[in-house]
Structure 1
Amino acid sequence: MALWLGLIACAQAADPITLGLNYPRTGSYKEEGLAQMRGALLAIDELNAKGGVLGRPLRLSSYDTASRPEKAVRNVDKLADEGAAMLFGGASSAVAIAAGKRARERGLLYFGTLTYSNDTTGKDGHRYLFRECNSAWMSARVLGQYLAKTLPGKRYFYVTADYTWGNTTESSLRETTGTQDPGQNPGLKVPFPGAHLSDYQNALTQAAASNADVLVLVLFGEDLVRAMRISETLGLSKRMQIVAPNLTQSIVEQAGPSLMTGVLGTEPWTWQVPKREGSARGEAFVADFSARYGVYPSSSAASAYSIVYQWADAATRSKSLDSEALIKALEGHRYSLLKGPQEWRAFDHQNVQTVYAVKVRPRAEVMKDPLKQDYFEIVHQLDGEQGAPSLAEWQAERSAAKQPAALQ
């Protein structure tokens, strides 16, 4: 006990290690940002209670990106100037990609939390950027398998946020569902950020006039919520199967389960997953997060929490805060934390993990849960190795973009 108390005292006396969170506190994705902040703070408090990392306590410094790449880049410089040891965050892939590039220039690792664009670990990938969540291609494969089984031969209409996540998600889903022909399966782009209600109204009015059976809303955060409200007004929810490729708990909370009932999407993690997969550590996280914040943790919270722990683990194993040493410790590292096995793949720094196709439960079922947040039914899942692009596919993508065949 005396030794333990002495170690704690030394850790408290040592200079803290700063971790930099670059996240959306405002804008369309602010609810996902709040979840990341909560997950990060819980992880830091737990690690500090155990003595910190390398005998030093951790502290969090954070800046608002507002989901704008140029602001995120400025934040990287602020955090680097403060002496941050590593950076993490996101919700917009454009933010994660831009911030990651600037972090490399400052010699810092950048971990993407919510950044589903294929480009993040594809053509825009580099040695200093790691992605914790799945890619658009991984989402498309698990969704494509489920849709091919349950809704074969249907016509699709796509409404897509016009930036890297939206465009790579649409192209991936078109490929896995065989809906590449825009004549048979049309689509429209809406601006990001800054789309107006009139943009969604116009796109969804055209969807309503089409003969599509499946409406794919490649939108996220508040943008998806706005589109769902218009879809309900136009009666699309009743006559079409709505697919939102990347769902989160906070999106359902904002829109309400009545509006979102039956919507299909994907998640890399939900609070039911630890029990489903027998992860005691994951179940403890759900219990601790719920007790602290009064809500279940979302995939956004789990991502930030996991990143802090994985960075701390790499620093402990390498006995260093140096970025190059941490890269070596992370590449190829396999672990289990909040679910089943995961791996930081060496050739592209993609976190390879199981991805789940989910459907939003009816409101009556949601209300049976003590916290009224049992939103998702897992209807299909795909192992990470089956979902993630192969080395050959990844190299082909890099070659097409005239990028080196190995991360630089």
Structure 2
Amino acid sequence: MSGMIDQGRRPRRDETDGSPVRIGALVPLTRPGWAEAGRHLLAGLELAVHDVNGAGGIAGRPLELVVRDTAADPRRAEAAVDELARLGVAALAGEYHSVVARAAAARADALGLPFLCSSAVLDALTDRPAQQVARLAPAQSHGWRIYADFLLGAGHRHIAVAAQPSVYWASGTRILRDHLAPRGGTVVALDPDALTPAALCDALADSRATALLLLVAHPDPAVPIVRAVRRDRRLAEVLVGAPAGQPESTEWAALLGDDGTAIPFLRYLPERLGPLGARVAAALRERLSEAPSFVAFEGYDTVAVLADALRSHGAEDRARTAASWPHVAVEGTRGPITFSRPPGSSVWQWAWAPVQVADRDPQKPGSFRVLHTG
């Protein structure tokens, strides 16, 4: 039928003709997306493309990114996947927001377009087993159970969550509750959309909770809630946490200052970077003019994996690229990367990226402390 895309193959080219091998990149670069995370993700993707091309590209052909801003909009992401497929990209990379990545993954799998998801963690990235889709970030259930273990180890068994409506936040709440309950823990949900920050503080003070987790958008309502809790003397001993990683951002630090310290969050970095990770960290710092977040390393590793697959299995055959996931063995910035299908996973998964619970050091707000690893 006219206009239909062959799901398995691209039009063949002579691999020595010098034409670029293109990868579609899905990145949140504007609001309501978390633009800072998108900027770091894109920096990692671009640096890796630069390094791949410096090492000869893909069989002598340059690697090229075709970037589309998802702005945290699932429908916009679906439209971008359709467009990038028509443009003949060899594969898709990127995306930070889980709900957006879920929409992109379903569309990419339907089109037969290989998609390596960089950062989204929602366990159910696809509704059914997807041969085309792989993921670098650890599944939410893996990382958030480690976070729950940190809470238990620090003596917090009665937890409050300020949770906005979202598949992602609801999944996080369920993971925490399921992990804490058998160990004598409880989780109470507070609605930040129905409560003002002051009213939320009242409800928190009336609860048995010794920790409040922010399962909310950044900067609003996260920043007003943190300010209110920090200024409420009744809550001086209450731990504030943000497992989704908001405190790592420079915007968080700029808006909250000292109030934004000592708020534990999840990040996906090893305790020490190896030689490759250290070199990439220095190059990313120069590119970003600030310390790179773990999201930037996820971007770099995404392109490193795709470049290996494209070199080994050819850039013209999408089906062969997707079939390569279980055969990938790449030295990434945070350790060796291979893919498998852990129990319950519908996509090919790196099991697992290193996981840390960290916070901003109250004595040095520009530095981070590692509180727990898993």
Q: TM-score range by the shorter chain?
A: 0.7 to 0.9
Ranges in structure 2 where 5+ consecutive residues have no aligned partner? 1-13
Matches of 1:138 and 1:94, distance apart in 2: 18
> Which position in structure 1 is the counterpart of 2:124?
119
| 1:157 CA drift (Å) | 0.9
Asked if 1:305 is matched to 2:300, the reply is yes
**Alignment of 1:381 onto 2:373:** yes
Does the CA-based 8 Å contact 1:356-1:379 persist in structure 2? no
Q: Tell me which residue corresponds to 2:9.
A: none
Shift in alpha-carbon separation, 1:292–1:140, aligned structure 2, 3 A: closer
Check if 1:350 corresponds to 2:355: no
CA offset at residue 320 of structure 1? 3.9
Q: Which residue of 2 aligns with 1:228?
A: 226
User: What is the aligned counterpart of 2:291 among 296, 312, 329?
Assistant: 296
Instruction: Check 1:231–1:179 CA distance in 2 against 1; reply closer, same or farther (3 A cut).
Output: farther
Indicate conservation of the 8 Å contact 1:139/1:355, yes or no: no
State the shift of 1:321 in Å: 4.0
- Residues 113 and 208 of structure 1, relative CA distance in 2, 3 Å threshold: farther
Moved more, 249-258 or 210-219: 249-258
Q: Using the alignment, how far apart are the partners of 2:46 and 2:348 within structure 1?
A: 24
Would you say 1:66 and 2:71 are equivalent positions? yes
Shift of 1:31: 1.0
Q: After TM superposition, give the deviation of residue 312 of structure 1 in Å.
A: 0.3
- CA distance in 2 between counterparts of 1:252 and 1:300 reads 16
Q: CA–CA distance in 2 between the matches of 1:201 and 1:301? A: 36
Q: Matched residues in 1 for 2:130 and 2:145: separation?
A: 24
- Map 1:8-87 to 2 at 5 A: 14-28=18-32, 29-87=34-92
8 Å CA contact 2:359–2:371 kept in 1: the answer is no
Residue 301 of structure 1 aligns to a residue whose secondary structure is: helix
The one of 210, 213, 218 aligned to 1:216: 213
Structure 1 residues 88-237: aligned runs within 5 Å = 88-120=93-125, 123=127, 126-152=130-156, 154-178=157-181, 185-189=187-191, 203-223=200-220, 224-234=222-232
Aligned CA distance change for structure 1 residues 160 and 304 (closer, same or farther; 3 Å): same
Structure 1 residue identity aligned to 2:328:
H
**Per-residue displacement from partner, 1:245-265 (whole Å, max 9, x unpaired)?**
121522644544512211122
Q: Is the 8 A contact 1:263 1:360 kept in 2?
A: yes
TM-score normalized with structure 1 length: 0.78
1:147–1:177 Cα contact (<8 Å) kept: no
| Cα-Cα RMSD | 2.8
1:266 and 2:266 matched: yes
CA distance in 1, matches of 2:166, 2:285: 34
- Count of aligned positions: 353
Counterpart residue number, 1:340: 335
Distance 2:234 2:132 in 1: 43
Q: Percent identity?
A: 22
Q: Provide Cα deviations, 1:226-268, integer angstroms capped at 9, x if missing partner.
A: 4423433445763311121121522644544512211122111
More helix by share: 1
Higher relative contact order (CA 8 A, sep 6+): 2
Q: Report the alpha carbon displacement of residue 69 of structure 1 after superposing the two structures with TM.
A: 0.7
